[in-house]
């Protein structure tokens, strides 16, 4: 093989190496871009799932609090009703007591002034 042929082959091999390197770099850029795109999609999916989970937990907690509040309200209304009934039973006695005390006071005042 002549010197010229060897130089031509070397140049050809160098050119092929440059082309392969350029292609490998381009492939690497595409791979990185695809990986970034996939990572972004995974992150967005995880963010959406976390938001949905948070909403579900808030809804469950709200339902539990509402149920508990309704139960407490019902118990309070029942207690108030019971107290009202007991108070209503005592109204007659309390009225009689107050009237007797008033009459006693009036009698006492009348006897002092009389």
For residues 107 and 100, what is the distance between their CA atoms, to the nearest angstrom? 10
pLDDT mean by block of 10 residues, the chain; 114 residues: 86 94 96 96 97 98 97 96 92 91 87 72
For residue 3, what pLDDT is reported? Answer: 86
Model pLDDT, residue 4: 85
Q: How high is the pLDDT of residue 7?
A: 87
pLDDT reported for residue 18: 95
3-state SS string for 30-66: HHHHHHHHHHHHHHHHHHHHHHHHHHHHHHHHHHHHH
Determine the pLDDT at residue 30: 97
């Amino acid at each position: 093989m002549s010197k010229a042929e060897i130089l031509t082959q070397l140049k050809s091999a160098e050119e092929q190496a440059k082309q392969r390197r350029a292609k490998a770099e381009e492939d690497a850029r595409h791979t990185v871009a695809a990986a970034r795109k996939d990572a972004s999609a995974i992150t967005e999916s995880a963010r959406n799932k976390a938001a949905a989970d948070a909403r579900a937990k808030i809804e469950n907690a709200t339902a539990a609090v509402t149920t508990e509040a309704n139960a407490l309200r019902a118990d309070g209304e029942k207690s108030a009703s019971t107290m009202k009934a007991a108070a209503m039973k005592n109204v007659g006695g309390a009225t009689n007591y107050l009237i007797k005390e008033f009459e006693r006071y009036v009698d006492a005042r009348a006897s002092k002034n009389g």
